[in-house]
Amino acid sequence: MQFEIIVVLLAYLCLVFGLSFYAMRKRSSGNFLSEYFLGSRSMGGFVLAMTLTTTYISASSFIGGPGAAYKYGLGWVLLAMIQVPTIWLSLGILGKKFAILARRYNAITLNDMLQARYQSRAVVWIASVSLLVAFVGAIAVQFIGGARLLETAAGIKYENGLLIFGITIALYTAFGGFRASVLNDTMQGMVMLIGTIVLLVGVVHTAGGLHNAVDTLQHIDPKLVSPHGADDILTPAFMMSFWVLVCFGVIGLPHTAVRCISYKDSKAVHRGIIIGTIVVAILMFGMHLAGALGRAVLPDLTVPDQVIPTLMVQVLPPWAAGLFLAAPMAAIMSNVNAHLLQASATIIKDLWLSAQPAKRHNEQKLKRISTITTLVLGILMMLAAWRPPEMIIWLNLLAFGGLEAVFLWPLVLGLYWERANAKGALSAMIVGGVLYAILATFNIQYLGFHPIVPSLLLSLLAFLVGNRFGSSAPQAAMLTTDK
């Protein structure tokens, strides 16, 4: 165990708790639900860009993605750049329209929006259950990534690393709420940027320069420097599937959508699109290239996911390794707190309060139950991560796909198609969710496409067919989330 790395990491965790305590003290005196789950819709452009970026970029981007680049080569780096337009797509398609409607209906969660748009409790219940099931996998992946990071870079036993990591995130998210989440996201986004650049420079230097690194990769396996990757994995069908799954489909991710209703004004959206796109481009290119070139430095790793933490220890001095170990740790923490808050909001706002609406006026009880729920969810997800798979990227993409198959069309068509109704939304959610679960469970890839592609196509068809049997919902009344 390296003492310098542990000291720097502990200092970083103290900073995280400090920001969370500050956020807890700074909570506005307005409605608790809006403050705890949305930060009273007060994000500016820079904070919006950073929180969207760090929410999207997760253990899969800092651990799993570079691990795949290590295994499959430079072709995976090009594939990863498919993700660059995600912030532009999310804020461009959802952004203003979504936020205007959310303010009109006083909506706090994505399910509030679905209820206001479709006037159907069935839509909300299916959405809530789907979200909670998918989040089990999504959050467990992040915990696995964080524990692996500590195991490889700091010499901490996997189970102990999982406990340290899981308890830290559960506590700061539970007590700080959304405001703590976005403050930490902003700080962690800066750490991720600096860490990515420094690590990439260190890897290239250790490999003897870029030209020498590429020559070494070609010597190991010529396909590592080909566009199709090792094992010719990067087929047109695979790349199309990947684009749908991690770029276009991100519009349908609930934790991304909720960031789109939390900003302050139109200026924040425009600035967020520009800054967010630049930051995503740097992070995606830098981390994946470091993973691919890392094979020239570490040719014999048996677990690809260990490439980034191992490189940090080997190419950087211990104090710098400890500081930049915080970069992937930051990515994972930001992603987990977004998922935890969304899951907690679903349980409290969409399930419990919908069954007992009178309870929404008891602010003290809401605070206590929201905090406890977030804390318990964090502990349960930590237990789910106790026995990890070899490569986490596939588990993360599985959870991504499940959420997109259920939410994408009800969300997008609900915003842009006036005639969309509850029967269409229900049809799309059921067909998309069930088909994705079947295809993913039995690993069925029709014509080489990932299950998300046929699931979204048939989900869209189901929406159009189901919509013919329903009638448009009346204009929703204002949702009563305020006292």
What would the mean pLDDT of 309-328 be, rounded to a whole number? 79
29/396: higher pLDDT: 396
Q: How confident is the model at residue 3 (pLDDT cuts 50, 70, 90)?
A: confident
347/127: higher pLDDT: 127
Measured CA to CA, the distance from residue 279 to residue 329 in angstroms comes to: 17
Measured CA to CA, the distance from residue 225 to residue 194 in angstroms comes to: 27
Cβ atoms of 277 and 50 closer than 8 Å:
no
43 phi/psi in degrees, rounded to 5: -75, 135
Q: What is the DSSP letter of 155?
A: -
DSSP 358-379: GGGG-HHHHHHHHHHHHHHHHH
Q: What fold, for 3-394? A: Sodium/glucose cotransporter (1.20.1730)
pLDDT at position 102 is: 79
Question: Other C-beta atoms within 10 Å of 44: how many?
Answer: 15
Measured CA to CA, the distance from residue 404 to residue 17 in angstroms comes to: 32
- Region for residue 366 given its phi and psi (left: phi exceeds 0; alpha: psi -120 to 50; beta: otherwise): alpha
Q: 37-51, 85-99, 193-207 — which is least confidently predicted?
A: 37-51
Q: 173-177, 284-288, 422-426, 474-478 — which is least confidently predicted?
A: 474-478
For residue 277, pLDDT over 60 is answered with: yes
Helix (H) or strand (E) holding 309: helix 307-315
Residues in the chain: 483
Measured CA to CA, the distance from residue 414 to residue 93 in angstroms comes to: 12
What would the mean pLDDT of 93-113 be, rounded to a whole number? 80
Q: Which of 259-263, 310-314, 321-325 is the most confident on average?
A: 310-314
DSSP H helix total and E strand total for the chain: 22, 0
pLDDT tens digits for 324-381? 776 667 667 766 776 777 777 777 776 777 767 666 666 677 767 777 877 888 787 7
Per-residue buried b or exposed e for 392-424, using 16+ beta carbons within 10 Å of the residue's own CB: bbebbbbbbbbbbbbbbbbbbbbbeeeebbbbb
pLDDT at position 258 is: 72
HSE of 98 in the Cβ direction (CA atoms, 13 Å)?
31
Contacts of 167 (CB under 8 A, 6+ apart): 378, 379, 382
Tokens coding 353: 């309060």
258/123: higher pLDDT: 123
pLDDT at position 178 is: 57
For residue 398, pLDDT over 60 is answered with: yes
For residue 458, pLDDT over 90 is answered with: yes
- CA nearest 203: which of 313, 300, 280? 313
Q: How confident is the model at residue 477 (pLDDT cuts 50, 70, 90)?
A: very low
Q: Please tell me the pTM assigned to this model.
A: 0.80
pLDDT at position 99 is: 79
HSE of 289 in the Cβ direction (CA atoms, 13 Å)?
21
What would the mean pLDDT of 442-450 be, rounded to a whole number? 88
What would the mean pLDDT of 210-230 be, rounded to a whole number? 94
